Amino acid sequence: MSVESLKCKECGTSYELDASYVCENCFGPLEVAYDYSGLDAAEVKRRIQAGSQGIWRYSDFLPFKGRASDPLEPGLTPLLKADRLAERLGVDAEIWIKNDAANPTHSFKDRVVAVAVAKAQELGFDTVACASTGNLANAVAAHAAAAGLKSYVFVPANLEEQKLLATGVYGTNLVGVRGNYDDVNRLCTQLAETRPWAFVNVNLRPYYAEGSKTLAYETVEQLGWKLPDRVVSPIASGSLFTKLGRGFQEWLDLGLVEGKQPVFNGAQAEGCSPVATAFAEGWEVCKPQRPETIAKSLAIGDPADGPYAVEHARKTGGGVDSVTDQEIREGIKLLAETTGIFTETAGGVTVGVLRKLAERGELAAGERVVVYITGEGLKTLDATRDTFQMHEIDPSLESFESEFRQEVAA
Amino acid sequence: MSVTVKIPTQLRAATGGQAELEVEGGTVGEVLDAVFDAHNGLRDRITQDGDLRRFVNVYVSGEDIRFQQGLETSINDGDEVTILPAVAGG
Give the global pTM. Answer: 0.96
What is the distance in angstroms between the Cα of A392 and the nearest Cα belonging to chain B? 43
Give the chain B residue whose CA is nearest to the CA of A237: B90
CA–CA separation, A356 and A409 (whole Å): 38
Asked if A293 contacts A269 with a C-beta cutoff of 8 angstroms, the reply is yes
Residue A23 at interface with chain B, using a CB cutoff of 8 Å? yes
Q: What percent of chain A has pLDDT over 90?
A: 95
Residue among A23, A202, A307 minimizing CB distance to B88: A202
Asked if A6 is an interface residue toward chain B (Cβ–Cβ < 8 A), one would say no
Residue A303: count of CB within 10 angstroms of its CB: 29
Choice between A233 and A69, residue whose per-residue pLDDT is larger: A233
Evaluate if residue B1 carries a pLDDT over 70: yes
Q: Tell me how far apart the alpha carbons of residues A136 and A172 are, in angstroms, rounded to a whole number.
A: 13
Nearest residue, CB atoms, B88 vs list A26, A205, A290: A205
Q: What pLDDT, on a 0 to 100 scale, did the predictor assign at position A407?
A: 61
**pLDDT one-digit tens code per residue, A94-112:** 999 999 999 999 999 999 9
Measure CB to CB from residue B89 to each of A22, A185, A193 and give the nearest one: A185
Count the alpha carbons within 13 Å of A93 in the hemisphere toward its beta carbon.
26
Report the SS3 class of residue B35.
Answer: helix
Q: Per-residue pLDDT for A211 more than 80?
A: yes
Residues of A in contact with B88 (CB under 8 A): 21, 131, 185, 188-189, 192, 199, 201-202, 205, 304
Contact A205 B11 (CB under 8 A): no
- A183 contact residues in B (CB cutoff 8 A): 62
A-to-B residue pairs, Cβ atoms closer than 8 angstroms:
96
Confidence of residue A68 (pLDDT cuts 50, 70, 90): confident
Query: A125: closest CA among A143, A151, A95, A162?
Result: A151
The closest CB to that of A26, out of B45, B82, B90, belongs to B45
Beta bridge partners, A98, equal A79, A372
Q: List the A150-156 sheet strands across, edge first.
A: A173-177, A150-156, A127-131, A198-199
The Cα–Cα gap between A31 and A37 comes to 18
The chain B residues in contact with chain A (CB within 8 A) are 8-11, 13, 45-46, 53-57, 59, 62, 64, 66-67, 82, 84-90
Residues of chain A with pLDDT > 70: what percent? 99
Q: What is the pLDDT of residue B3?
A: 94
Report the run of H or E that residue A130 belongs to, with start and end: strand A127-131
Contact B13 A24 (CB under 8 A): yes
List residues bridging with A232 in a β-sheet.
A265, A371
SS3 B63: strand
pLDDT in the model for residue A1:
57
In the three-class reduction of DSSP (H, G, I as helix; E, B as strand; rest coil), residue B45 is classed as helix
A241 vs B: CB within 8 A: no
Interchain contact, B84 vs A205, CB within 8 Å: no
Contact A237 B89 (CB under 8 A): yes
Is the distance from CB of A125 to CB of A197 less than 8 angstroms?
A: yes
Rounded CA gap, A84 and A338, in Å?
5
State the pLDDT at residue A111: 98
Report how far residue A7's alpha carbon sits from residue A29's, in angstroms, rounded to the nearest whole number.
8
